[in-house]
Chain A
Amino acid sequence: MREEFKLLVALQDLDIMIKEAEEKKTSDQLKDMGFQLDGLEELRKARAKLAGKIPTALRNRYEKLAGHYSMAIIPVTENRCLGCFVKLPTSFFSSAYSSELITCENCGRLLFIP
């Protein structure tokens, strides 16, 4: 996996965490269990730092997709995009670790192939 794509995947994981901590329902549940969620500002800083390491064009592509879908990068299971469930051509997988980013032809999400 290309290094900048790795950063992008980590960025999405972080965005999901931030969203969870910002959501009242989820954060209330966590607080009820005894968790303290005081570091939200630190997470936002970590997010900005990480985003700064990603090339602008790639980051913009991610942000645009993230504005449209709940997940810009989506895992592939059994050759299917888990975003739109369309079956992907097998040729995708031979080139999975090549330098090119793989996009679902149907929905346009970036694909994460484990």
Chain B
Amino acid sequence: MESKKLASLFQEDLCIFSLRSRKKASVMQEMVRHLKASGKITDEHFILEMLKNRESLGSTGLGLGAAFPHGRSIAIPELTVLFARSPSGVDFEALDSKPTKIFFLILAPSEKGAETYLDLLSRLTALVQQPETLEKLYEIKDFESLQAVLGGDGK
């Protein structure tokens, strides 16, 4: 995991370059529905429930226009990450109260430990701390440019 390239953890069919939803709950629903359509999960209900609970623990909208909804569920067979972008931004109850434009949804199986997703989460949260990278992420419109940005973290 540590040595795995960040870009290799993403898949083209697990990206939404232009979210249609405008509200927090519907954004989560749109992302989870996308996972279902791609065959990554069989049951939307458990994942949505878990994500909703996770938000009540504290918003995963860390500010700077980026959010990292995450958690473990029995309904997730393997570590899965989905990238989504909202060109206009969404009120995701971010810690800085600013609209959220990019989302990294990170899901891990519950029978494995938290460390399964913590490493990925920490790399992604570090990524948005780089202003140049963040600007690029806001504008991503296709998988190639996502790969280029993710590949640029030197790992």
Contact = CB atoms under 8 A, between A and B. Distances in A.
Q: List the 4 shortest-distance A-B pairs measured between CB atoms, nearest first.
A: A36-B58, A39-B57, A33-B125, A34-B62
- The SS class assigned to the B binding surface is mixed
B77 to A, nearest CB: 7
A26 B114 contact: yes
Given A13-B50, A14-B53, A75-B74, A34 B111 contact: no
Contacts, number: 91
Given A6-B45, A17-B71, A12 B122 contact: no
B145 interface: no
A21 B55 CA distance: 12
B95 interface: yes
A71 to B, nearest CB: 6
Nearest to B128: A34
B73 interface: yes
Given A13-B73, A29-B118, A114-B77, A38 B58 contact: yes
Contacts of B43: 114
Interface string A11-49: 011101100110100100110111111111011001000
